[in-house]
Every structure is written in structure tokens, then in C-alpha cells.
Amino acid sequence: MTDASGARGTARPATTHPHPATAGQPTVLTGATVVLPTGTVENGQVTIDGTRITAAAPENAQVIDVTGHYVLPGFIDIHNHGGGGASFTSGSVEDVLRGIHTHRLHGTTTLVASTVTGDMDFLAQRAGLLSELAEQGEIAGIHFEGPFISPCRKGAHSEGLLRDPDPAEVRKLIDAARGRAKMVTLATELPGGTDSVRLLAEHGVIAAIGHTDATYEQTVEAIDAGATVATHLFNAMPPLGHRSPGPIAALLEDDRITVELINDGTHLHPAALQLAFHRAGADRVAFITDAMDAAGFGDGRYWLGPLEVEVADGVARLLTDGTIAGSTLTLDRAFKRAVTVDGLSVEDAVQALSATPARLLGMSDRIGSLEPGKDADLVLLDADYELKGVMRRGAWVVGPQLR
């Protein structure tokens, strides 16, 4: 099957079974295990009025008994390239919206759209398209992953399009995003890298260290210059060494750094994930998908920027050399794996999927936790951590699917 983005795979149309609720009617979810910033509450309730969570239920509220289920804040993905057969880098507006909706069906109520390395003029054009969707509230902003990355650690990026992080060119991209640029991934050891970090910090854009061949000392220098994120820690960077600790040690030890982790069972060994949590803590870890077109769509061949990708058994690899090319992960799967395979507490998983990314994006006043006054973004899971409902800004995207 081929769609407008050039993806070929097996379509998996999503089906939802909405609860018979009156549109816009205040709703109270009762009997749930509710994960709050202060801890987990058994037999708790969450009240929604309009698009917000409220402290008290109006008299006309409908009550939905969700006993035996978890109610969590909506998931937040700060690094996502597409889904549903659609690419955020090359798809039309309709394609991008389909990709966004695909991830919403899996609990991601807030998403930052990521691009991959491309020609500078093309990336500036994409920034214009994506900024319009950010202005409409469909995405939380734009993340530029490349072209300012190391050819030694390029991963699934086209080497011929890579370039040093000249601050003038970095500025061109953030200007093209019209105030909607959220993050730029840089190999900060390259010429212009440190100056570009300072430029990004001055403009309120997150400077992320990634696809880097930096030494420990070079990484410390970049952090001191204002870098605050590690792009998919462990991946596309030198491994941790006992004589040459490289960027991993510098990124884990500094409290100013939030580390991204791709928890799909392919990108990281469970011991690496545990190391990151033990050293950084849940309040410095953000689970991401790094998803490409095939997320929520199926195996087959796809394009990631100018590079062709083969997806088999849910693992995406470049057709040319087998390099891992993003993921097909969705955040509901990342959550379930975190608690059932990695042994994380539900509270720590929620922190990494919601509260930490909300804080990083500067949006903690609106999203990231279930508190009165915040957006009614929530996820409903059953006792086996399977997704049974998704609400975004007070409207059900999925479910609730109750027995």
C-alpha cells in the first residue's frame, strides 16, 4: 500500500467506541486509581468541565464508573517524526494531521513534531507549515533534528546534507518557525556548536546534544553554554568508557540536563535504562518515541527524509546498511514496558511520560498532571496497563472502553 507520503505498509485503521456521553457535558470519572503529583489515590475521581479539570462537579455532571482502571495525565512526546503512514518532514498538512491523530489514539495528547536532516531551504519551508499547525494548537512546537550533527554519529540522516552548526543558519531555521521552534539537536563539538547553543538559549529554544562524537570535556562545555537536553541518550553517541567517559557521563551527571530515552526494547538494553533512572531520576528523564511513519501503521518500506527504510517486525532500519532508523513506538507501549519489563513504578513512568516533558516545554501550568485548572488531557488504562480511553482538552479521542 502506498500513501501520499510514499509509505508502503499494512493499514491498521483505528476504531474507537465512545462512551454514550452528551457532548460538552461535565463528566466525573470515579472509582479509579488516579496518579496525582502528590501520589497515587485509590478509589479517586477526576472531574472535567469543558476543556479543564475542575475541583468540584457541577450538579448536571454525568458520572462514569472506571473502577479497576488507572487515570493518568495525557502523555507528552517531545521527539516524534510521524506515524500512521505519514511523515512530519515531508507529508502534506493532511498527512501530518493523520500522524498526530495516530499518536493521540495511543495516549499522546501533546506532541512536538520533529524533522530530519534536509536541505536548509526545504527545512525552512517545513518549519512554516508546521508552525501553522502549532498556532492552531495541533502540535506543541517544532524540533529540528539535523542537519547540524556529526557525520561520525549520523544514524539515519543523509551524510551529504549534514553541515556544521553555523549560528546564522541555526537562526534561519528558528526564524522560519515563527516562534514555534522548541528544540534543535546539535553536535556541539562541531565548529560553531557552542555559539549556536548560546544563540538558542538566548531565543528560548532548547539546545539538545545529540548525534554527537563529543568528548566528556566538550560536552561539559556545551552544557555550561546552555544545552539542557540529551537527544535519545546512549544512541548516536560514543559509548560510556572508563577512561574516556564521553558525553554519556557528562549528560547523566549534570542536573541541568533532561535525558530522552526510547523505551521500545530495541534502542536500549533494560540495564541502560535503569542506569539512566538511577543516576538522573525520573524528574530528569523524558520518554520519547522518535517515531517514524510506520508507528501505528505496519511493516513495509518507507522514506525517512531522503533515505529508504525497511520496517520488519516493528523495527525500522535503513535499507542500505541496517542502521536503526527511528522507531515504531507509541507512548502507551513505552509506559507498559516501563512498569512490566523495566520495573519502574507507575509514578516514575508518569513522571517521565508527562510531568518531565511538560516542565521541559515550559507548559507545566497547563499540562503534565491531573490538577484543577489544567487541560483535561488524560489516559485511561486497565489493570494490565492496556489503553482503554484517551481524552484531550475535555473531548474523548478514544473510549472509554469499559466492560
pLDDT of residue 3: 33
Between helices 167-176 and 193-202, what is the axis angle to 10°? 30
Min mean pLDDT across 22-31, 181-190, 299-308, 372-381 is at 22-31
Task: Check pLDDT > 80 for residue 20.
Answer: no
Is residue 12 scored above 80 in pLDDT? no
What is the DSSP code string of 49-113?
Answer: ETTEEESS--TT-EEEE-TT-EEEEPEEEEEE-EETTEETTT--HHHHHHHHHHHHTTTEEEEEE
Phi, psi of 201, rounded to the nearest 5 degrees: -60, -40
Res. 348: pLDDT tops 90? yes
Look at residue 256 in the predicted model and tell me its pLDDT.
98
The pLDDT of residue 235 is above 60: yes
Tell me: pLDDT of 1 over 70. no
Q: Who wins on pLDDT, 19 or 263?
A: 263
User: Is-catalytic flag, 299?
Assistant: no
Q: By mean pLDDT, which of 10-24, 65-79, 98-112 is the weakest?
A: 10-24
Query: 402 pLDDT band (50/70/90 cuts)?
Result: confident
Q: Report the share of the chain in percent with pLDDT over 90.
A: 87
For residue 155, give the C-alpha cell.
544514524
173-177 average pLDDT score: 98
Out of 3, 254, 264, 290, the active site residue is 290
Q: Looking at residue 105, what is its pLDDT?
A: 98
Cell output for 16? 474507537
Q: Is this prediction's pTM over 0.85?
A: yes
Write out the DSSP string of 22-47.
Answer: -TT--EEEEEEEEEETTEEEEEEEEE
- Top pLDDT among 41 and 325 is at 41
Query: Would you say residue 143 has pLDDT above 50?
Result: yes
- What is the DSSP pairing of strand 181-186 with strand 387-392? unpaired
Percent of the chain exceeding pLDDT 70 equals 94
Confidence of residue 377 (pLDDT cuts 50, 70, 90): very high
pLDDT recorded at residue 258: 98
CA distance 264 to 266: 5
